[in-house]
Structures are given as C-alpha cells and as structure tokens.
A and B are shown apart, each in its own frame.
Chain A
Amino acid sequence: MCAVVHNCPTEPYQSDNQELVKGWVRTHQNVLDAAIEKFGTVLPLGFDTIIQGEDNTDPKQQVKDFIKDDFENLKEKMEKVRGKQEFGVQISYDNKAMTDIVARESEEVGKLKEEMASQKPGMAYMYKQKIEKAVKGELEKSAEGYFKDFYGGIKNHVDDIKVEKAKSERDKTMLMNLSCLVLKERVEDLGNELERIDYMNGFSVRFTGPWPPYSFV
C-alpha cells in the first residue's frame, strides 16, 4: 500500500479567486485519475487534507505511520471498491410536464374541474385552490412511486448506493441524486436502465463518471 502526496505548507489553501480554486480542484482530480490509471484501486481523499508533523515529527513519517496503524481498515476499504467505479446518477422531472400528466390522469382533479365549471366566479377561486392542492398531492404520490420504481431498477445493477441531497432548479425537480458504486462490467447494464428512464415522458437523467470512489470510503 502506498500514498500519493505532495509537499505543501501546513496552511489551508485559501483564495477568493475562482479561477485559482477551480485550478486547484482540477489538479486534485487529475492526480487521482493518474493514480487510478497506474495503480487501479485508489482511496481518494478530499481536497485540502493536509497532514502536519506533530512535535517536529516528519510529516512523511506521519503518513507512513498512519498507513501502518490503519492498515487493516484501509485494506478493507480497498477490497470494497476494488474493480469498481463510482458513478453519479441524477434523475429530474420537468415540473410543467409532470403537473400536466398528473392533472390529466387524476380522477380527483378531473372531478374538481367539473364541479368548478358550475360555480359562481367567487367560489371558483376556492376550487382553484382545491385543484392546486390536489395536483400537488398527486404529484407527491406519483413522485414517491417513481422514486421507488427507479431506485429498485438501479439497485439491481450496482454494488452500493448512497442517496445524496437532491437539488432542484426553478423548472426542474430533482427526484433523486445517487452515488452508485458499480462493478466495471456492470456499467453497461446501468446505462441501459438509465436509458429507459431517460426516454420516459418528462424525465431526464444525468449520468456522470467514472469518479474515484469518493462516496464509498
């Protein structure tokens, strides 16, 4: 077992210069890519992880000690990720398309719309509110269904899954944000599964990687 290190001052990297920061993180990623190419299985560390030499000890010695002391644990982790790669899977739906589908298909919403037609204008406001609420409820229900469906499908092709925070945009809602640990020979299966979802009306899939196994160490 070995470590890829570089010598730097024991000061955190700090800058308000975006270009500089971007450069740093890209370099970090490039080093990892190179290490993976050369050594195969790598346990990635976060950017800005700086080992300091305690009481005048040599930082290099600290790293060596760390590997020695933690050897069993590190080895276990390496076994877990050996021959596997990390992929990011983000599935979103278009709010408008999804709302339309739900509004069209829901019986409850249809009934409310019928009732609304025969109401006085003032009461129509209340019906509009009711319909909006019903659509929202239906949307949540079907989102839950889709989540379980997709999650179940993806699970079959991967070794491990982490559910990350979903980030939504103005007109798109992220249904799920997953980090998946995948055996190299299963990546294609996962791609097929995701293609099925990507073709579904209103849904879009983002599939990124391979990443170093950041989420599984």
Chain B
Amino acid sequence: MGMQPTAATECGVTDLLEHILDKGLVINADLIISVSGVPLVGVNLRAAIAGMETMLKYGVLTDWDKQTRDWERKEREQKRGAREPLAEGEQVLLKMFGSHWFSKGIYRSWRPGHLYVTDRRVFLWRNSPGEMLMDIPYEMIKGLAMERKTNVAKKETDYLYLLLKDGEVAQLHPTEASVVKEAIEGRMKELGLELEEKPTIPSLDEYAAKFLTPGEGVTNSCKMWYLMTLPSPGGTTSDQWKSGYLYLTNKRLLWYYDFDGKVVWETPRDNLIHATTQLRDLGGMLKEKQVLNVLYKTESGNKVACFSGTEDEMKDWQDALTDVIRQRSEPLPEDWETCPQCGAKAPREKLLKEGCSVCGWISPRLRRNI
C-alpha cells in the first residue's frame, strides 16, 4: 500500500481554484467572452479569491518559490544578485545593512544600502536602483570613531564616523557599528595603515547639537545671512545683515548665530505662511542679491524674516519651505504618507522605495530588496 491521493473533492478550495481558473482546454478566443482582450477565464474572480487565499493555510499565489520552479531562472538570478561592483579579485570581508548620511547643498538625508568592508575599501551599495552611495579606499581613512546617539525615533544607536584625510567625515549608521569598526581596523592593520589612536569626534554639527530637542531632527541646513534688528543709540533700532546658519528641522525653522552661540530667530513650522525670493541691494557692495523673505505668524501679528545666501540655495530653500506650507495647509495628497517612525511626510512611493530621508526609516520590504 503506497501513499493514497487525497480526493479532489476533499482538497481545499485553493487546489480547486488553481485547476479550474488557470487551466483547462483553451478555445479560440473569438468565440468566448473576454475582458479588454484578455480571455475571461479566471480573470474576474481574482478579487474574491485574493481574500480567500489569505485565509487559507496553503500560502498566497504570489509567494512563489523561485528557487525550485525553474533551475535556469535560478541561475540567472544568482548572476543578477551579485551586482555589487567588486573589482577583480576583491574580497568581501563583511557585508551589513547600513545607511550613509548624504548632504549636498541644503539637502540632507540618510540613504540606506549594504555596507561592504572589503580587502581594499569600504563602500555602501544600493541594489535597486543600483547606485554606489559611498566609496572610500582605506588609504583615505585617517581615523574611526563611534558615537552613541539618540536618533530621531528616540532610539539609542551607534553611529560610526570615518574621518578622512581630506578633512571630510563619512557618517554611517550600520546595524552593528562596533563590528564594522573592528573589521576596518583589523584590515587596516593588516595593510600596515595607521589609524589615529583616539581621534576626537569632529563636531559634525555642533550648533545643531546645542539646540535640537529630543525627537527633533534637521532636514535642511546651510550657511545663511540674516537681517538682524539691532538696538541703536538713541533708543532706535537698525537692521544689519549677519552671517549664521539657517536650519529647518521637523519642528521649526531657525537661524543660529554662531558669533553669539545661540538661536536668534525661530518659528514653528506650523506658523510659516509664505516664502518668496526677490532681488535686493543689501547695502555696500552687495547689490542685486537674492533674498528669501519668510512670512510667519506671531502672537503680535504676521512678521517677515529676511535671509540671503547663494542663488541656488535661495531657490532650494523657497521650494523646501513652500513644501512645508503646502503640506500643512492642504490635506495630504492621497499618495502621501507619514513616516511610521518619525512622522515626516513624504510621497508614499518615495517612502517605500527610498526610505524616510529624515530619520532613516525604511520599510521591511525595502530592507529585503536593497
């Protein structure tokens, strides 16, 4: 007595559907009803079946096991999987999920990918769409430092800084910073490359560290002139352009005056009304300069704050602030979502495909695909 088959009538409905919907004799499409050119068979019952399937123990139709279905395809996929651009003979010592802090112009964001420590360099690669997010040969590295910080999601994690010989700092947020650090140190020792013993962590943004409140994260920042109102002799005031830094965080817009070491002007994001740029003479030699006028609400009525920087930055700031205002005043567009970790708003597609640029959150699916 061998194994006895389970009769078709006793099989679950999934087995039945699989046979009845997708298979059977195919007859001339001219003869049968079709929906937009697709022969009808099985097409229009999908909705009801999708619900059924999830209820059934026997898996979901879309969760195909790619390994065993088709050996040729497997081969192809293995080839495709090895896309990280390794040089001939380059050996991967460690591969780990991680993010790299990207900062260009006024934009900043965490960009997730896979961190590779190889026998010759450290790089961060994202698979889809394929892009090299960071690429540093060991010869460039001057020192390593680790810091335990509370991220935007109010979780304590370790950050790893690669201090480079050109004075730049690469900020990394790997799953396990200590392991990455150890791997880099080990390899550099093997290569006979020196590392600074106890490098001082450069203050990446020492100003921001002073004013950020718990749960607050910087989304944009850059050097910026601000038209400051100063007391003048005789009880009057005068306006003067001062150099400092403009920051947009997930809570407020503020201008930090490094000369005094404090925040001189700020407004909650919710109080922003309007942002425009115009050409203005700033006095002296500074003629026809781009000025960013920010209209905002205060308890004593609406006020304007004026900032000035390079032409490109002004345009970027106007866009960034206009986005803030639009998102607040209009209901979120349908395809926008809030980040489940920090609450920042972004188009759903972007959030799902690239992760949250503010706190570095990424969806589990993206984590798998990266």
Contacts and interface: CB of A to CB of B under 8 A. Distances in A.
Contacts of A25: 13, 16-17, 20-21
Contacts of B71: 144, 147
Contact of A207 (B1, B5, B40): B5
- Main secondary structure on A side of the interface with B: mixed
A29 B24 CA distance: 12
Contacts of B11: 88, 208
Indicate the member of B42, B52, B68 with the most A CB atoms within 10 Å: B68
A176 B61 CA distance: 15
Interface stretch (B28-36, B249-257, B333-341): B28-36
A126 B13 contact: no
Interface size range of chain A in the complex: 35 or more
Given A48-B45, A51-B32, A52-B32, A123 B16 contact: no
A192 B1 CA distance: 7
A56 to B, nearest CB: 15
Contacts of B15: 88, 208
A70 B45 CA distance: 28
Contacts of B60: 167
Contacts of B8: 29, 33, 208-211
Interface string A98-122: 0000000000000000000000101
A17 B5 contact: no
A44 to B, nearest CB: 5
B64 interface: yes
Interface in A1-57: 10-18, 21-22, 25-26, 28-29, 33, 43-52, 54
Contacts of B33: 10-12, 50, 52
A83 B242 CA distance: 94
B3 A192 contact: yes
B5 A49 contact: no
A191 interface: yes
Task: List 6 tightest A-B contacts by C-beta distance, closest first.
Answer: A191-B2, A192-B2, A214-B23, A46-B24, A122-B182, A166-B65
A147 B31 CA distance: 41
A22 B134 CA distance: 54
Contact of B44 (A12, A28, A165, A205): A12
Given A166-B68, A176-B68, A12 B35 contact: yes
Contacts of A187: 5
Contacts of B68: 143, 147, 166, 173-176
Given A25-B20, A194-B2, A167 B179 contact: no
Nearest to A166: B65
B41 A165 contact: no
A193 B2 contact: yes
B121 to A, nearest CB: 17
B5 A208 contact: yes
Given A49-B27, A122-B182, 10 more contacts: A45-B27, A46-B22, A47-B20, A47-B42, A88-B11, A123-B183, A166-B67, A188-B2, A217-B24, A217-B26
A22 B11 CA distance: 13
B44 A48 contact: yes
A155 interface: no
A28 B179 CA distance: 60
Contact of B24 (A45, A166, A207): A45
